[in-house]
Structure 1
């Protein structure tokens, strides 16, 4: 068994959640896993099973709004890596990110073995240069790196997303004990991936008209948006940390959300997702993984594959063109009113 392994995934909450199967495989074959995240993904890393220690550093080649590179901070980060006495490291990245800057810093810290998925020539920076054919889901892509490095999921682990339990009680937040509900999460990390406030509000009203109780969620910085979207629905904007949000999502009949971290968090707690998916990135990689899901939105729109942060097509048709009735039908298909989950439990993974 390997002694100390670092697993790095240094971008957003959803990206870190999708790394969970890889982390669990490494944990099954090592004495300790150190998870390296960026500041935007730290809270998700704290929910992942299998992590022994957390390390956070803002990578200036990955963070979308990085501060200027400071040599002193970088040198301090290398010293911290060296102090961990690592035997090996796996660098997880999206297809458009390079693992080589971090691999260089790991080499400077004396890490003897490093693996990554990499298309660029790595020179002496990588011991394992892994290639992934096709366009698999991101969790499977990252798990394939762990397997190529000699790590396997433990018996009984199906490779889905998971978080640590137990989750906190949220009945007081929800307002009514035991009543079933659907969550609408209207925001994403970039404007191109979220519907307009008006479109999200129309979805909330359509779900209410169909007899659903609706709960609207969002971070503190999104509270103005959630207030506008919620109308008469329950507005939890700014009132949940990530673990409380996970508990709210776990109790829902279904979650309506764009391509965003909470959609992956819903998958991690086993809740079906009606995914309002803008095709700026491929759904084959980033759609909700391992749970029943409905993919809504024009996947052949003009923004397809652009990785745009702001929609380049007037009117944002790929998302704002989704009829609210289609969302209502998707929720009904995922969680029929006649089969609502009245006995809800809080999932968790040891």
Structure 2
């Protein structure tokens, strides 16, 4: 692999990214790495086919620079356009230093359009409403990409919900989207498409459980999900050790071994959470993702993250950390009854804690380690909470 293309760091601003990304794709400029916070250090060079480097912390919290080739980025954009009925215009509602936001910019550029953007600052329903109405006034089709937290805020605001009806597709990814939230969005008339993928696959590569064109999904006996296809990353910048453990070759194809659990039913992928997220309480394994589905379906629960807190009797105590509509905690007994009926008594949370927002490690992706630390702190302050 020839390493002879310079890598240029650019700030996470659309006005800086658009010309840099255009030049990186057509070969007239260096490859680009989009950083939210500048990182001083030596200049880097990358393989000649690499156009973009995206920094991701993954589940470990340790930064990794993922190299994405021109071919992989174009394949991803083309497959997305094919699935959504053709190239369209896009509203950018996600940070561009994450792959989901970067892809919104890329898809718009490859469709010959500039991405529409939200007002500067945190995501607000009012800002989304104005931007969505402006973005959907021009030639279509019209698309946007949100994380579940943003979708909740859109649905909580009637004007934002009405504006979102103008999109032909609202992609939702970055974190698991509770079935109750999907049902709520679809009942409101939004054309929601769930996406699954990661930086190493140029973002979402499975839509509503169905792989995009050219993408193949497999699940092994341990329920580990593996992905193959033209959207796979070239590898990690200066990390051959990660390349060797993350990417494998089998049957003449290159595969990405994810850290996710899943199952295939009739060719449809159902993601069940991460392999390392399984909790053990009293010697019984508990799937936090399954518990979150039940708790997330309860009235007034807007977001939920289920974690294990160290417990001298149980090893881990199952705790549900929730964001509710009015800031009031759901009653523990009926919540435990609902979870126990669906998943068994071991899965029933022993505590329910209410917070204003869940700690995140990416756009809309709960930081489970941070949530567990927060739960431990809150329980120490208020043992009977």
- Larger RCO (alpha carbons 8 Å, 6+ apart): 1
TM-score with structure 2 setting the length: 0.31
Q: Which has the higher strand share?
A: 2
TM-score with structure 1 setting the length: 0.33
